[in-house]
Amino acid sequence: MTRFRPRAIWLLLPAAVAALWIAQQFSWATRFPKAWELPVAKTVSKSAAVVTDNLSWLTRLFATAIEVPMTLVVALLSEGGALTLGGFALDLPPLSWSGLALAVVWTGWRTGGPGLALLQALGCAYLLFFGQWSAAMLTLASVVIAVPFALGAGVVLGIVAWRMPRLDRWLVTPVLDLMQTVPAFAYLVPTLVLFGFGPVSALIATVIFALPPMARVTTLALSRLPGAITDLAAMMGCTRGQALWRVLLPAAMPMLLVGLNQTVMMTLNMVIIASMIGAGGLGFDVLLALRQLDIGRGLEAGAAIVVLAIMLDRQGRVLASGWSRGQAMSRRRGLGLVLVLGALLGTTLLGQIHAPLRAFPESWQVTTGSTMDSLVAWLNVNFFDTIEAVRVFLLMNLMNPIRIALASAPWLGVMTIVAMLGWVLGGWRLAVLGLGVGGFCLVTGLWDETMTTIYLCLTAAILSVSLGVPLGIAGHRWPRFGKLLTLAVELLQTMPSFVYLIPVVMLLRVGDVSAMIAIVAFAVTPVIRYTMAAFEAVPPALTEAGTVMGCTSGQMLRHVQLPVALPTILLGINQCFLFSLAMVVITALVGTRDLGQKVYIALTKADVGSGLVAGLCLGLVGILVDRLFRAAAARIAPQEPNSHA
């Protein structure tokens, strides 16, 4: 393969100039003519209506099948309630807060020692004292229900993809790519239409959203197993089933558990978003608070999401690493388990008589809502000018120029440049992909919204890179700062994307700048992480060689570290772009006018066609950006020396 095509660049320039010149001569080349658009959205809506009409028995059956375990878990964790099974009605009380909290803290103690137990205890205390317990348990119930479905389906899909590499390459991987880049919102629309407004469709959307990473991890974990393990399975005379269940999956378990943890976190993230179609719980509280601009309540519920996320994440990680160290088989926990279950049952039953055991007494609860409101009011009164100055500065000097440039760019010119870029970086396939994606946005009449989306992502990416790369380099150079930075990044990544909006909106009001800052807060994390990782991965032999040559630290950075780290950093920027795309949709809540807004509007109108088409546009743009970045990273990466086995 040729390393570079310098001549292609000389072709690119005149072609772009020619395209721009043509575009200025003819109006059809500047703005895509309305008459050329295709009624894609309407067709999708119509066929969806046909499907819905004919398959309602199936969806209803499906919904009923899911509803039974769902009601049970919701009843136990949160609300209590009557469960009817074959005419036999069972009145279930909710498990008491005291018993549940005890069980959570005990599990933390058993698996992660006093540190984890303390963390879990603090988490429970926050949820209880700030009156978030019930909502948090409702959210947890959704997670508990969704995770097994996502896990099971993900593992099965992953195994199938691993068994049939060709199917994986041509069908599974592209579909998973699309599923991961199509924003979560877009899933909500069809499920809403098929299953109606309510917890069941929220659950289904959640499962669809959380499934791809598990499938990916499964395929990856199985194909990364050392050759000796697969050979071992064959040489022991395993049947296919034995090989899979007794050798391969157990050997892949550490990685699978990491995937499971990721699935749990994605589920939580999606449960929050799915509150828009009736999942209830913490997400709904935040949404309500955002709509009413009730900052105090929003912050408390948002913080509760973060607390819940951290509790789940830490517990999950400890379990995952415990397995690989073989501690999962500890024997002494039998008695403790019985005691804790007894306490759980006992407090629940006692709660029927003694109310404070059942529901956390309201007189014990505190709220910082009014304090928060006055704090925000104080900030706005005293710092309004400063904040406003920053806002206007960003808007005038960075955002507006990019927005205007992109919005007024003639489509023909943009298409030419995208195609050329694809060709130079990755050959004709990438060029065709670029043309296809652009074409889709054009004929569906979503060109302007796409450009707005790209403008938001581009600005966010520019800000994130100029912020994240120096931070990452600093974190590498000063390890203590690096540790803090890692902690901050981990915290930012555990937070469901929703939560980012709250503080931003309360200080900067609704608008593009708020959206931008929320996006940057979300999308800067991969840049920092990848930069740090890239610098860590520079072989010590190279830096030592640099030191021996007498490099100053600036020269070392310029001539040794950056060139070696660049491909990885580029992948970080790629991730940053994809994160931005995912976040753009959420920022539709604060009134941007991009593809996310289209999806959001479609959601409120239950318009399957435009919701799906706008979601697909976002997904396709994401895939194109991803492929372009990957091609660029592969191009500048030094060739690995060939090793022959």
Interface with other proteins by CB under 8 A: which residues? 226, 228-229, 231-232, 234-239, 242, 246-247, 250-251, 253-254, 323-326, 328, 644-645
Q: How far apart are the first and last CA of the chain?
A: 22
- Report yes or no: 186 and 232 within 8 Å, Cβ to Cβ: no
Min dist. Cβ of residue 220 to other proteins (A): 17
Token reading at 550: 């007498």
Tell me which amino acid residue 56 is.
S
Give 109's contacts (C-beta < 8 A, 6+ positions apart).
116, 117
Give the H/E segment covering residue 91. strand 88-92
- Dump the DSSP string for 357-400: HHS--GGG----HHHHHHHHHHHHHHHHHHHHHHHHHHIIIIIH
Min dist. Cβ of residue 173 to other proteins (A): 23
Min dist. Cβ of residue 16 to other proteins (A): 40
- Report yes or no: 592 and 452 within 8 Å, Cβ to Cβ: yes
Pick 145 or 225: Cβ nearer other proteins: 225
Min dist. Cβ of residue 641 to other proteins (A): 14
Min dist. Cβ of residue 107 to other proteins (A): 20
Pick 235 or 548: Cβ nearer other proteins: 235
- Dump the DSSP string for 137-198: HHHHHHHHHHHHHHHHHHHHHHHHHHH-HHHIIIIIHHHHHHHHHS-HHHHHHHHHHHH-SS
Tell me which amino acid residue 604 is.
T
Pick 327 or 374: Cβ nearer other proteins: 327
CB neighbourhood size of 301 (10 A): 30
Output phi, psi for 131, to 5 deg. Answer: 70, 25
Min dist. Cβ of residue 253 to other proteins (A): 6
CB neighbourhood size of 173 (10 A): 15
Pick 125 or 236: Cβ nearer other proteins: 236
3-class DSSP state of 637? coil
Pick 103 or 249: Cβ nearer other proteins: 249
Pick 109 or 323: Cβ nearer other proteins: 323
Pick 155 or 425: Cβ nearer other proteins: 155
Min dist. Cβ of residue 112 to other proteins (A): 19
Which residues lie across from 89 on neighbouring strands?
84
Cα 114 to Cα 299: distance, rounded to the nearest angstrom = 29
* CA–CA distances in Å: residue 552 to residues 330, 464, 534, 540, 547: 53, 27, 20, 16, 8
Min dist. Cβ of residue 246 to other proteins (A): 7
Pick 241 or 554: Cβ nearer other proteins: 241
Pick 136 or 221: Cβ nearer other proteins: 221
Min dist. Cβ of residue 325 to other proteins (A): 7
Count, residues in the chain: 645
Min dist. Cβ of residue 326 to other proteins (A): 4
Q: Which residue has the tokens 């469709």?
A: 201
Pick 257 or 461: Cβ nearer other proteins: 257
